[in-house]
Structure 1
């Protein structure tokens, strides 16, 4: 079940949204302040965030920017601020949409459906989180919007990891998938070398993607 985080300090509205999206087949994660939302985000890893702008402990714009700098998760603002400048600020901070209160809960749920389906399609075509972009069709990798040169083996490995994100891929499974059609042998040492080279190319101190589960295999974290 896909998870929707609702960051809204109006408890009645928060509960109303949660009720409607639960009926639509989503799991609501409710937060009323940004501090709680930040902690819950790390633990629950939602698929989409509904975010108010004016919250008791800060503004949603800053929170949106913090999330979008590291993740490609879609964020929809739900707010009473109806000035054009605020809407523009919302989009500039990385939001998918800026929804003015009051709004139809049925329309909101439909917007969530459309955005998540669109993102699901994007996921089958590659990976993007605002820092790293991987295009399966064009076999292209960019980091911070600059071309990142990877070898064919590294790209194949990258694709396998991304397509199985969140799953532990054992050494033997990866070696089977990496076996070259021309008979080029890939052993466990070569696998480790390729993983290390790939990590140096796509990661930095704040963006970690590949985890080595010691003695077992590798996992794409995002």
Structure 2
């Protein structure tokens, strides 16, 4: 594991050596961790975990919307952080090899690639894992608790905002009109259903 003291140094490392995963403290000097995450997302789908002492819902939502795959509030036990790292890396590695087409949307599980109208859709590892989970159960309603376990390895219902924020990011990338989704539908009080047109 290599550590850097500033956001600028971390970005230089990502550009030159591309680590397996980035764990960013939100309160980095210079460019903060959220901004480093945004910049990583513009150039790479590298898994990112944000680490912070601030646990407010707004801070968590900002971090997730910046593209983080997970958000860990300090203080955190090293073994808990290690488990969260392993969970994020498992999501990156796990997918079965088949290609599914839903109109203009093509999900290639083997290549971990999504295309829309022939153009590649750049999803973070967590976004891809969530979409793959939804695609595996077309037409079925998957509740947030199930999705937390399957995608994040979480069991606390309070973390359901992770699911909602990730769905919003996916919709912004695959839906023509995210507010009127064709693929991922909200079933109020229950969860989400992948129902391609």
1:41 aligns with 2:11: no
Deviation (angstroms), 1:70: 2.5
Q: Which runs of 5+ in 1 are unaligned?
A: 1-27, 127-132, 150-222
More relative contact order in 1 or in 2 (CA 8 Å, sep 6+)?
A: 2
Let me know the Cα RMSD of the aligned residues. 3.0
Question: Out of 62, 70, 74, which is 1:89 matched to?
Answer: 62
1:110 aligns with 2:83: yes
TM-score (norm 1): 0.45
Q: How many aligned positions are there?
A: 114
| CA distance in structure 2 between the aligned counterparts of 1:112 and 1:94, rounded to whole angstroms | 16
| CA distance in structure 2 between the aligned counterparts of 1:57 and 1:84, rounded to whole angstroms | 24
Q: Which runs of 5+ in 2 are unaligned?
A: 100-105, 120-197
| CA distance in structure 2 between the aligned counterparts of 1:113 and 1:139, rounded to whole angstroms | 19
Paired residue secondary structure (1:85): helix
The answer on whether the counterparts of 1:141 and 1:147 sit within 8 Å (CA) in structure 2 is no
Name the counterpart of 1:158: none
1:147 aligns with 2:120: no
TM-score (norm 2): 0.51
Deviation (angstroms), 1:110: 1.1
| CA distance in structure 2 between the aligned counterparts of 1:58 and 1:107, rounded to whole angstroms | 27
| CA distance in structure 2 between the aligned counterparts of 1:82 and 1:110, rounded to whole angstroms | 19
Higher Rg of the two aligned structures: 1
